[in-house]
């Protein structure tokens, strides 16, 4: 802790130094709190400490929350390692997962290792990324995935027709505000490498809205049965506070304390607002736009 205090003093002095246009030579040792600390060491610590401090502080707040939403980029191993650590630290009463239907969640709980082949045929990233997250706490798992046959019908019927709860309460019967509809269209257009006409993307927005509502309902159901904290495992797009799962929980259950974690890659911050954002190296993946004859670069 003494070193951390010295880091704070150095950071303060560095800000003052910049304001007065005073410069010190790189690598010069400086004495703070009776410690001789090289400037290079302090600069390195400045990059490393924020991630460690944020994760530690965020973990304490998560433990005191009723619902904790842990976002991810689905194929990023570092994101899943962080999720598993947080689940162990939080010791939740239940998990809610985007990747499994209720029936699939029951199968996985009955035989986690035996579910491997079915998972690997599902199209989700490797099971070894997710299994440590699902087994980090010995608690019930609530599946919140929309079945594929239902998902296909959403494109023509809309999400409200296929929601198991009160569609009106979850906002599925009302059109989105114009600015949000436009923003969602922009996101889908970019996600599909600008290869699909915007007019064809409305069904995908309906699908995302249904998934948000289904995850939120599952979190509420899990809390009502088991109490808190409930941990939700999902992508960053559903964890965002502006229109994702947290927005439904804030409207429908304002009595619940909700914490949302976003996880970025290579310094990029996921959109939508989070209580905490952690960074990680980007996963090695092929360019998704090559299948459209384009490149994301």
Q: Could you give all domains of the chain from N- to C-terminal order, each with its CATH number?
A: 2-46 (no CATH), 64-292 (3.40.50)
Flag whether pLDDT at 252 surpasses 90: yes
Q: What is the pLDDT of residue 61?
A: 84
pLDDT band at 295 (very low <50, low <70, confident <90, very high): low
User: What is the structure's pLDDT at 20?
Assistant: 40
Question: What CA–CA distance (Å, rounded) separates 200 from 97?
Answer: 28
Q: Is the confidence at residue 4, as pLDDT, over 70?
A: no
pTM of the shown model? 0.81
pLDDT of 124 reads 97
pLDDT at 203 over 60: yes
Measure the CA dihedral 64/266/235/220, to 10°.
10
Instruction: Say how far apart CA 112 and CA 132 lie, in whole Å.
Output: 10
**How is residue 43 written in tokens?**
């600069």
Closest to 41 measured CA to CA, from 10, 15, 19: 10
Looking at the chain, the whole-number percentage of residues with pLDDT higher than 90 is 71
CA 163 to chain CA centroid, nearest Å: 23
pLDDT > 70 fraction of the chain, expressed in percent and rounded: 79
Task: Give pLDDT, residue 230.
Answer: 99
Residue 224 scores a pLDDT above 60:
yes
Asked if pLDDT for residue 19 goes beyond 50, the answer is no
* Residue 116 pLDDT: 97
Nearest-angstrom CA–CA distance, 208 and 211: 5
Buried-exposed string 257-269: b where 16+ CB fall within 10 A, e elsewhere? ebbbbbbbbeeee
Nearest to 186 by CA among 176, 174, 198: 198
State residue 8's pLDDT score: 46
pLDDT in tens, 27-74: 334 444 544 444 444 444 444 445 555 566 667 789 999 999 999 999
- Beta strand 141-143 with 35-38: parallel, antiparallel or unpaired? unpaired
What pLDDT score does 135 carry?
97
- The pLDDT, as a whole number, for residue 60 is 78
Read off the pLDDT of residues 131-175 as tens digits, 9 standing for 90 and up: 999 999 999 999 999 999 999 999 999 999 999 999 999 999 999
* Per-residue model confidence (pLDDT) at position 279: 94
Mean pLDDT of 243-270: 97
pLDDT above 90 (res 256): yes
pLDDT over 90 at 254, yes or no: yes
What confidence score (pLDDT) does residue 22 get?
Answer: 38
Q: What does the mean pLDDT of the chain come to? A: 85
Cβ pair 208, 184 in contact under 8 A: yes
pLDDT at 163: 97
Q: Which of 37-41, 121-125, 180-184 has the lowest mean pLDDT?
A: 37-41
């Amino acid at each position: 802790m003494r070193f951390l205090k010295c880091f704070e003093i150095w950071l303060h002095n560095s800000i003052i130094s910049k304001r007065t246009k005073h410069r010190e030579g790189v690598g010069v040792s400086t004495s703070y709190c009776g410690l001789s600390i090289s400037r290079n060491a302090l600069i390195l610590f400045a990059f490393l400490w924020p991630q460690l401090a944020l994760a530690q502080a965020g973990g304490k707040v998560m433990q005191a929350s009723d619902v904790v939403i842990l976002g991810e980029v689905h194929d990023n191993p570092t994101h899943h390692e962080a999720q598993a650590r947080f689940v162990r630290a939080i010791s939740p009463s239940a998990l809610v997962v985007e990747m499994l239907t209720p029936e699939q969640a029951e199968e996985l709980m009955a035989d986690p290792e035996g579910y491997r082949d079915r998972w690997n045929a599902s199209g989700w990233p490797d099971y070894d990324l997710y299994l440590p997250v699902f087994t980090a706490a010995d608690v019930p798992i609530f599946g919140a995935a929309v079945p594929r046959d239902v998902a296909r019908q959403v494109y023509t019927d809309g999400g409200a027709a296929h929601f198991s709860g009160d569609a009106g309460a979850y906002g599925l019967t009302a059109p989105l505000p114009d600015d949000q509809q436009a923003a969602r269209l922009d996101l889908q257009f970019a996600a599909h490498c600008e290869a699909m006409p915007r007019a064809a993307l409305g069904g995908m927005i309906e699908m995302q809205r249904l998934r948000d509502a289904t995850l939120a309902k599952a979190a509420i159901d899990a809390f009502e049965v088991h109490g808190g904290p409930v941990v939700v495992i999902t992508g960053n797009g559903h964890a965002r506070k502006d229109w994702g799962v947290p927005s439904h929980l804030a409207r429908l259950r304002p009595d619940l304390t909700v914490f949302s974690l976003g996880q970025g890659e290579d310094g990029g911050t996921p959109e939508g607002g989070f209580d905490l954002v952690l960074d990680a190296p980007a996963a090695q993946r092929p360019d998704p736009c090559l299948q459209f004859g384009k490149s994301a670069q």
